Amino acid sequence: MFKFFLRVQKLLIGVTGGICTGKSTVARILSALLGLDLVNLDQIAHEVLGKGEVGYLKVIEAFGEKILSPDGSIDRKALARIVFEDPEKRFLLERIVHPLVEERMMKLIEESGRNLVIEAPLLIEKGTWKLMDFVVLVYCPPELQIKRLIRRDKLDPKAAESKIKAQLPLEAKFPMAHYVINNSKDFSYLRNQVLKTGLEILKHALRR
């Protein structure tokens, strides 16, 4: 029922948040609840850096062959270390990758009939939030972000903290969010918040 309704209404829902806040989990639950396809812009960013792609060639030109793995693919961990240690290089990478990601995203939006849940870590920073009908921001306390990042990426606390500080502070994202989800407790608590958010989106869509 939701899927049919939303196909008629045409809704774009953006899900964003800092690293290790749980935005992927929220996006998956929300897309399943509403029956909308999910587009992950991180995944698209990986695709545009695939061997032979325009992004692949531009990144090698900008950062050199030291970022390549033995098989010729981009060593994403090596590239991440470079860009998180140097803001200028991070901005350079974003200038290369973002237009390519945006181009693919716009094509997917058109093909979907403008009915998607879009998960994007840089939704606010790159202005993509302006295309969305609803923006869902996922957050958790910084100390929990650090703990999760250490566990996920096997980083030391200092490196994890630096990685989080390299991102736009969550407080700066709040004004652009229609809904804010707190992912600081267990999965059941998170899921209930997402269900409530999905129902709120449906209610607001009915009034349009």
Domain harbouring 62, CATH code: 3.40.50.300
Pick left, alpha or beta for residue 166 (phi over 0 → left; psi -120 to 50 → alpha; otherwise beta): alpha
Residue pair 122/1 in contact by the 8 Å Cβ criterion: no
pLDDT (tens digit, 9 = 90+) per residue, 30-66? 999 988 999 999 999 999 999 999 999 999 999 999 9
* Residue 142 included in any domain: yes
- Distance (Å, rounded) from C-alpha 43 to C-alpha 183? 22
* Residue 207 included in any domain: no
CA 151-191-134 angle, 5° bins: 100
Per-residue confidence band for 1, with pLDDT thresholds at 50, 70 and 90: very low
pTM (predicted TM-score): 0.91
Residue 208: the pLDDT is: 67
Q: What is the residue whose two structure tokens read 């990478």?
A: 93
Q: What is the residue whose two structure tokens read 């090596």?
A: 78
* Residue 2 included in any domain: no
Supply the range of the domain harboring residue 126: 7-36+115-202
* Residue 208 included in any domain: no
Last residue of a domain, one of 59, 79, 114: 114
Residue 97 in this model has a pLDDT that exceeds 60: yes
Same domain, 66 and 123: no
